[in-house]
Amino acid sequence: MQAGHAIGVDLGGTKILAGIVDRDGKVVRRHERPTPQDSQEHVLAELEAAVAELIDDSVVAVGLGAPSPIDQARGVVVRCTNLPLENAPLRERMHERFGVAVGLDNDANAAAIGEWRAGAGRGEDDLVMLTLGTGVGGGVVSGGKPFRGRDGAGAELGHVVLVHGGRPCQGVCTGHGHLEAYVSGTAATAAAHEAFGPSADAHRLVRLAAEGDAKAKELLEEVGRYLGSGIGSFVNIFGPQLVVLGGGFGVAAYDYLREPAEEVLRREALEPMRSAVRWAKAELGTAAGLIGAAFVGFEALDAS
């Protein structure tokens, strides 16, 4: 393995977070800039600018996490819900500009890889991470390797069917009853609206629960029970030793979601998977994505 640093870039709907990261997952230097919304060319230019801001002779790889399924064979972002990046040839473009190995991944996969290499999942060979935020992202490490499905497009864990024929899903998704429609921050905000009026949101729900509000607790427990069913499915499929909950809402609500989720999980999961699984709260906060993206860069370098 070549020594040196990788630059990890986490492309979000509002911000580009970038950092120089070492092989241990330590962030040496960071940079942040707004994500432009107007054109693909502008987004690509700002991504390049974020990397150019940090790059030095120690940098041997660049990794990017984007909120989209990825076509790994072509190194292309397939379709971001919120950004004009359809079919953007990110890998080739960055490689041409900077001349180093470039890796590309879905943002939720990148976050899972970050927690696996440098956060709550250090030392585990099999973990599932769910990122509960505006949507629900999923990332899987299986047998000591990131699991990405065919061409790296898969492991869209937020879009498993949890309630056949249930609530319409969000954004461009035409599905019904997907996990995302029940356990995302957006879903919790909808529940908060209904119970506490239009100014309430998911984070207000957590604050109210912390103050002892019974209704807020009950609503979060309901989210936790849905989460337990979803995680039960993933445990029966992947048999992870560890389930990591991340994302803004997932971390904030962790203490309220975990117990009801675990109760349902114990019912839904089969042996020997059921007895093996533990829980953890994500540790890296908003840095998980860029740290994981850096490891995706190292991965591309080591494979080249």
The residues binding a second copy (CB under 8 A) are: 69, 71, 78-79, 125-126, 142-143, 147, 149-151, 153-157, 159-166, 173-178, 182, 225-226, 229-230, 232-233, 236-241, 267-273, 276
To the nearest whole angstrom, how small is the minimum distance from the Cβ of residue 267 to a second copy? 5
To the nearest whole angstrom, how small is the minimum distance from the Cβ of residue 115 to a second copy? 17
- Partners of 33 in beta bridges: 16
The residue type at 271? E
To the nearest whole angstrom, how small is the minimum distance from the Cβ of residue 21 to a second copy? 27
Q: Specify the residue, 19 or 240, whose C-beta has the smaller distance to a second copy.
A: 240
Cβ–Cβ under 8 Å, residues 244 and 115: yes
CA distance readout (Å), 268 to 107, 127, 151, 271: 28, 18, 30, 10
Q: How many CA within 13 A on the CB side of residue 141?
A: 25
To the nearest whole angstrom, how small is the minimum distance from the Cβ of residue 304 to a second copy? 19
| Burial bucket for residue 3 (CB in 10 Å: 0-12, 13-18, 19+) | exposed
Q: Specify the residue, 114 or 135, whose C-beta has the smaller distance to a second copy.
A: 135
Which residues neighbour 244 within 8 Å (Cβ) at sequence distance 6 or greater?
A: 112, 115, 119, 120, 121, 127, 128, 129, 130, 279, 280, 281, 282
To the nearest whole angstrom, how small is the minimum distance from the Cβ of residue 268 to a second copy? 4
Q: Specify the residue, 19 or 146, whose C-beta has the smaller distance to a second copy.
A: 146
42: enclosing H helix or E strand: helix 40-54
To the nearest whole angstrom, how small is the minimum distance from the Cβ of residue 299 to a second copy? 15
Q: Specify the residue, 162 or 252, whose C-beta has the smaller distance to a second copy.
A: 162
Q: Specify the residue, 8 or 228, whose C-beta has the smaller distance to a second copy.
A: 228
The string of DSSP letters for 121-138 reads TTT-SSEEEEEESSSEEE
Q: Specify the residue, 36 or 177, whose C-beta has the smaller distance to a second copy.
A: 177
